[in-house]
């Protein structure tokens, strides 16, 4: 099935971020620069090569056209989203009453502050 190649980046980046987060659990913010992200998340070599080809094509033209989704990239994306789903299922915990109270209090303070700011701006 042919897909717009530009849209591959819309799924590839989050998949790479999920992998990066798995490999760097103590760091909260993954790199925004796609080449750096790809380097630091250490995907399979064929995924790196295909991503570099796509980035090179994108650098030349904004319109990349459509083509079949490359198998290695599709497998990479599927694998990373599957892994993330498994990790989220395992990490699902119930908030303590204290954490829920603090979150609700923060929300109320924020809404009240923004309401005051909006009223003052009118």
Mean pLDDT computed over 57-76: 86
Rounded to 5 degrees, what are φ and ψ at 58? -65, -35
More confident residue, 90 or 60: 60
Looking at the DSSP bridge assignments, the partners of residue 3 are 67
Mean pLDDT computed over 96-121: 84
pLDDT for position 14: 95
Does residue 63 carry a pLDDT above 80? no
Q: What percent of the chain has pLDDT over 70?
A: 91
Does residue 96 carry a pLDDT above 90? no
Break the chain into its structural domains and give their ranges.
2-91, 96-122
If we measure between CA atoms, which residue out of 22, 28, 12 comes closest to residue 87? 22
pLDDT for position 25: 87
Does residue 120 carry a pLDDT above 80? no
Looking up tokens 């995907």 gives 43
pLDDT, tens only, 2-58: 888 888 989 999 999 999 999 998 887 999 999 999 999 999 999 999 999 988 888
pTM (2 decimals)? 0.69
pLDDT for position 122: 64
Q: In whole angstroms, what is the distance from residue 34 CA to residue 40 CA?
A: 10
């Amino acid at each position: 099935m042919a897909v717009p190649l530009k849209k591959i980046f819309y799924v590839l980046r989050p998949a790479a971020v999920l992998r990066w987060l798995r490999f760097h659990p103590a760091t909260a913010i993954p790199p925004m620069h796609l080449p750096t992200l790809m380097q630091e998340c250490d995907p399979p070599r064929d995924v790196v090569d295909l991503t570099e080809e796509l980035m090179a094509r994108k650098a030349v033209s904004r319109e990349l056209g459509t083509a079949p989704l490359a198998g290695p990239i599709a497998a990479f994306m599927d694998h990373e989203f599957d892994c993330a789903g498994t990790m989220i299922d395992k990490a699902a915990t119930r908030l303590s009453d204290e954490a829920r109270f603090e979150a609700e209090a923060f929300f109320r303070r924020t809404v009240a502050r923004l309401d005051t700011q909006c009223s003052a701006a009118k």
